[in-house]
């Protein structure tokens, strides 16, 4: 039963690793990997001196950190609010509504977002008609574009992430709440001294595990929404590698950038699992 899965893993995860040799040579499709000129760390040196590379790394870290914080806080708060809802039908309806966007592809969401936030889109028309404001360049101003990315990514994923905290809340001992009520604790006091401390270990695990993928700033989302006007603030490592390596034909340089990202990601994963084991007593082994 495991054989198909193992074969797929080997074919699509391990065999392509042989292509990493392109990062250390001046790869030419005509000569192939085995006969291309070996250049060692030349592409990595160029990567750290090339101005666009530095800006792309900064963009990746800024966007990823903003998403990291937002995707931790928003689901945590929403889970606490839903936990206080007593009407089960209303609670389930809200859960379903906020959960649905997670299943919509960014190919579709990107097109919807671009149309709604364009200079003559629905959002700008509302701003002009209701507040008499000038059109806002959501998709043309780099700084605004970053916040648009964070907001839309949080909107798509917070419903799914909320499930983790709701599952943790379901495991809180109800006797604690009963004892708190006897002592005269209000709902706010119960939330502050029982609910939040009870799910804090789960929040720590989620945060530390998310740290390992912090350099994945969202290729699908950015690729389907960005344009040359926001390259300076919205271009990340993955989109940069796609343009330089695939479209630009600089396969060795693109491979070097991808390998650098993978190496840093590996260090972050090791660090995050160490933190999860130390602070939340979580371990997969």
Kindly tell me if the per-residue pLDDT of 285 is higher than 70. no
Cα–Cα dist 245/252, whole Å: 7
Tell me, what's the pLDDT at 154? 92
Tell me, what's the pLDDT at 91? 86
Cα–Cα dist 226/233, whole Å: 10
What region does 87 belong to: left with phi over 0, alpha with psi -120 to 50, or beta?
Answer: beta
Residue tagged 């404001």 (tokens): 133
The average confidence (pLDDT) of the chain is 87
Confidence of residue 5 (pLDDT cuts 50, 70, 90): very high
Cα–Cα dist 240/247, whole Å: 10
Which pTM was predicted? 0.84
Tell me, what's the pLDDT at 6? 95
Tell me, what's the pLDDT at 280? 66
What region does 227 belong to: left with phi over 0, alpha with psi -120 to 50, or beta?
Answer: beta
Instruction: Kindly list the structural domains of the chain, giving each domain's residue range(s) and its CATH number in brackets, ordered by start.
Output: 40-279 (1.10.3720.10)
Tell me, what's the pLDDT at 19? 87
For residue 38, the surrounding DSSP H or E stretch is strand 37-38
């Amino acid at each position: 039963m495991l054989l198909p899965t193992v074969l797929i893993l080997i074919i699509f995860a391990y065999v392509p690793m042989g292509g990493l040799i392109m990062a250390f040579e001046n790869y030419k499709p005509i000569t192939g990997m085995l006969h291309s000129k070996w250049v060692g760390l030349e592409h990595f040196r160029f990567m750290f001196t090339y101005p666009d590379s530095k800006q792309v790394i900064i963009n990746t870290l800024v966007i990823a950190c903003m998403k990291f914080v937002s995707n931790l806080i928003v689901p945590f708060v929403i889970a606490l609010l839903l936990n206080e809802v007593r009407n089960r039908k209303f609670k389930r309806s809200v859960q379903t509504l906020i959960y649905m966007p997670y299943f919509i592809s960014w190919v579709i969401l990107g097109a919807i977002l671009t149309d709604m936030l364009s200079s003559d889109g629905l959002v700008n028309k509302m701003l002009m008609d209701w507040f008499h404001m000038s059109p806002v360049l959501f998709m043309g101003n780099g700084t605004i574009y970053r916040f648009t990315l964070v907001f839309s990514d949080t909107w798509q994923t917070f419903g799914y992430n909320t499930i983790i905290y709701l599952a943790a809340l379901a495991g809180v001992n109800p006797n604690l709440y009963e004892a708190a009520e006897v002592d005269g604790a209000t709902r706010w006091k119960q939330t502050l001294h029982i609910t939040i401390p009870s799910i804090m270990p789960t929040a720590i695990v989620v945060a530390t595990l998310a740290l390992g993928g912090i350099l994945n700033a969202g290729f699908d989302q950015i690729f389907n929404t960005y344009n040359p006007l926001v390259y300076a603030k919205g271009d990340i490592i993955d989109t940069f590698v796609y343009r330089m390596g695939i479209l630009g034909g600089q396969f060795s340089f693109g491979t070097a950038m991808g390998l650098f990202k993978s190496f840093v990601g590996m260090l972050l994963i090791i660090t995050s699992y160490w933190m999860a084991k130390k602070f939340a007593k979580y371990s997969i082994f």
